[in-house]
């Protein structure tokens, strides 16, 4: 897309789910008049535009837009070193901030088909207007109606921001006398091994 970096996430923006038929009636509707039309418990997509360049209450290809970026706003890292007498501890930190990740594995795991073998995070799904669940997990649906799961939407984007410890080093500085004795013992062991191998 002109003016955008390569590889931006493109699809429908989402705004929770339709909790009731009254919310569905207000729209915007996906596939009105078809078997795939929006129903209570389905994902609610954002009406971005229409054929005339303005929101028209219908969700279709005109409403697809840039959903986010896979590129972090910035990378960061630092190393902290702590020491006390002969003991020292070094901890390296590294992270990124501001990018999104397309969760392909979650698209298949969270299919919603009969809620069988699904993730525990999907248990609080929409059941009825009286039991709307958490307001963001769509209803179970084993038929190709509603939700339009085959398309990419903001629902499948996760934050890529993280901070992790990538290195920990704990060390102890031996005294010179001890290190010399250890060095001498190491040489003795090496020479003994060499002599045994020759025999």
pLDDT tens digits, 62-92: 999 999 999 999 999 999 999 998 899 999 9
pLDDT band of 114, cuts 50, 70, 90: low
Contact predicate 67/13, CB 8 Å: yes
Q: What is the pLDDT, as a whole number, of residue 150? A: 54
Tokens (6 digits) for 76: 């960061």
Across 8-22, 82-96, 114-128, least confident range: 114-128
Q: Where are the domains of the chain?
A: 9-198
Q: Which residues, in sequence order, are CB contacts of 197 under 8 Å at separation 6+? A: none
pLDDT digit string (tens) for 130-171? 999 898 888 877 665 555 555 788 988 999 999 999 999 998
Q: Is pTM beyond 0.85 here?
A: no
Residue 10 to residue 1: CA distance in whole angstroms: 10
Using one digit for the tens of pLDDT, what is the confidence trace for 99-109? 999 988 777 67
């Amino acid at each position: 897309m002109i003016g955008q970096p390569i590889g931006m996430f493109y699809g429908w923006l989402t705004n929770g789910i339709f909790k009731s038929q009254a919310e569905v009636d207000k729209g915007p509707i996906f596939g009105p008049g078809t078997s795939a039309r929006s129903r209570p418990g389905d994902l609610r997509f954002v009406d971005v535009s229409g054929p005339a360049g303005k929101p028209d209450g219908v969700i279709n290809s005109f409403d697809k837009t840039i959903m986010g970026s896979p590129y972090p706003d910035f990378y960061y890292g630092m190393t902290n070193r702590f020491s006390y007498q002969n003991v020292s501890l070094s901890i390296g930190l590294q992270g990124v901030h501001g990018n999104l990740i397309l969760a392909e594995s979650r698209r298949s795991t969270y299919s919603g088909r009969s809620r069988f073998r699904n993730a525990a995070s999907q248990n609080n799904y929409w059941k009825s207007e009286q039991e709307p669940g958490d307001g963001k997990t769509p209803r179970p649906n084993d038929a190709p109606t509603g939700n339009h799961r085959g398309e990419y939407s903001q629902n499948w984007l996760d934050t890529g921001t993280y901070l992790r410890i990538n290195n920990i080093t704990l060390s102890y500085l031996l005294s010179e006398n001890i290190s010399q004795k250890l060095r001498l013992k190491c040489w003795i062991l090496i020479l003994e091994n060499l002599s045994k191998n020759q025999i």
